[in-house]
């Protein structure tokens, strides 16, 4: 399994593009820095975290992105000396940006915005890249112009993430399964079958880690290529079934997951669409 699958649904990492200069293309149209690129003006909105923001154009409606949501945005980013770091406007279509993959400072700004709004955001270095990889991009103060085009809502976060309810079926392995919708037929996936399904997964803290639902297209997996908790749950299902599965760490990615894989117990919703 590719984790997170949100990345497979075209997730843009502003953080990596900005901090590594990856978004800059020599010969691309110039995007001159604004006169206030070096520091937020006196009238800027200042949050307790240290992020400063200024509304450049008001949007419409009252709906804001939530922490598990993704967005479609355009952005332009500069260093505080005015040199261009990255911009999406050299492409006609807005980029996809999931809030959990964004700079913390960028995610904070997006949570305050509505569709159609443009903001200039001054992000301190400590709220840019926050990973612990040795080869990660350096932290630096950045100024970013953001324009929010669309909010891509995450599936609702299940309740009882830390513990399966009594109505769930408990298996000897430690897996727990709650049937949300029953399908038809009697055929279960074989050990080497390919399955077509929709899925969404969360940590027990409620962080969305992957979802095919947000991409609006199902995924196809080999039973041999998915985590043990998926295999055990899918083997009990027929086409049309939708279940919620509580997966202990040992049946997920284990105590030492690879980079990008979630740690600990997990909760998934699986809907089997085809064999």
Summarised one tens digit per residue, pLDDT across range 7-27 is 333 233 444 444 444 444 444
User: Is the predicted pLDDT of residue 165 greater than 50, yes or no?
Assistant: yes
Q: Is the dihedral of CA 163, 167, 172, 176 positive or negative?
A: negative
Summarised one tens digit per residue, pLDDT across range 212-224 is 999 899 999 999 9
DSSP β-bridge partners for residue 142:
79, 123
Summarised one tens digit per residue, pLDDT across range 107-118 is 999 999 999 999
Q: Which one of 3.30.200.20, 1.10.3720.10, 3.10.50.40, 3.40.50.2300 gives the CATH number of domain 5-152?
A: 3.10.50.40
Summarised one tens digit per residue, pLDDT across range 37-56 is 999 999 999 999 999 999 99
DSSP string computed for 72-104: EEEEEEEETTS-EEEESTTSSSPEEEEGGGS-H
DSSP string computed for 194-248: EEEEEEEEEETTS-EEEESGGGTS-EEEEGGGS-HHHHHHHTT--TT-EEEEEE-
Tokens at 223, concatenated: 């039973």
> What's the pTM?
0.82
CATH number given to 169-274? 3.10.50.40
Domain ranges of the chain: 5-152, 169-274
Secondary element (H or E) of residue 188: none
| Cβ atoms of residues 60 and 116 within 8 Å | yes
What Cα–Cα distance (Å) separates residue 31 from each residue in 87, 91, 140, 234, 257? 8, 13, 20, 51, 41
Q: What is the pLDDT of residue 11?
A: 31
């Amino acid at each position: 399994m590719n984790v997170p699958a949100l990345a497979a649904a075209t997730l843009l990492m502003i953080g990596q593009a900005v901090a590594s200069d990856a978004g800059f293309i020599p010969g691309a149209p110039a995007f001159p820095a604004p006169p206030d690129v070096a520091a937020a003006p006196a009238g800027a909105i200042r949050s307790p975290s240290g992020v400063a923001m200024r509304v450049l154009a008001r949007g419409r409606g009252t709906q804001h992105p939530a922490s598990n949501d993704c967005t479609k945005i355009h952005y332009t980013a500069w260093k505080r000396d005015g040199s261009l770091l990255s911009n999406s406007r050299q492409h006609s279509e807005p980029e996809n940006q999931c809030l959990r993959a964004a700079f913390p400072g960028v995610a904070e700004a997006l949570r305050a915005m509505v569709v159609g709004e443009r903001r200039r955001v001054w992000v301190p270095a400590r709220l840019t890249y926050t990973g612990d990889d040795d080869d990660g991009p350096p932290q630096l103060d950045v100024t970013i112009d953001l324009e929010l085009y669309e909010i891509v809502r995450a599936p609702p976060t299940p309740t009882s993430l830390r513990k399966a309810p009594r109505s769930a079926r408990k298996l000897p392995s430690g897996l727990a399964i709650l049937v949300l919708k029953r399908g038809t037929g009697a055929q279960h996936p074989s050990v080497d079958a390919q399955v077509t399904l929709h899925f969404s997964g969360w940590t027990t803290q409620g962080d969305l880690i992957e979802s095919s639902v947000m991409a609006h297209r199902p995924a196809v997996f080999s039973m041999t290529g998915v985590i043990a908790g998926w295999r055990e749950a899918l083997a009990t299902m027929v086409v049309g079934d939708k279940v919620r599965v509580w997966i202990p760490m040992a049946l997920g990615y284990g105590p030492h997951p690879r980079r990008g894989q979630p740690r600990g117990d997990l909760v998934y919703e699986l809907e089997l669409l085809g064999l």
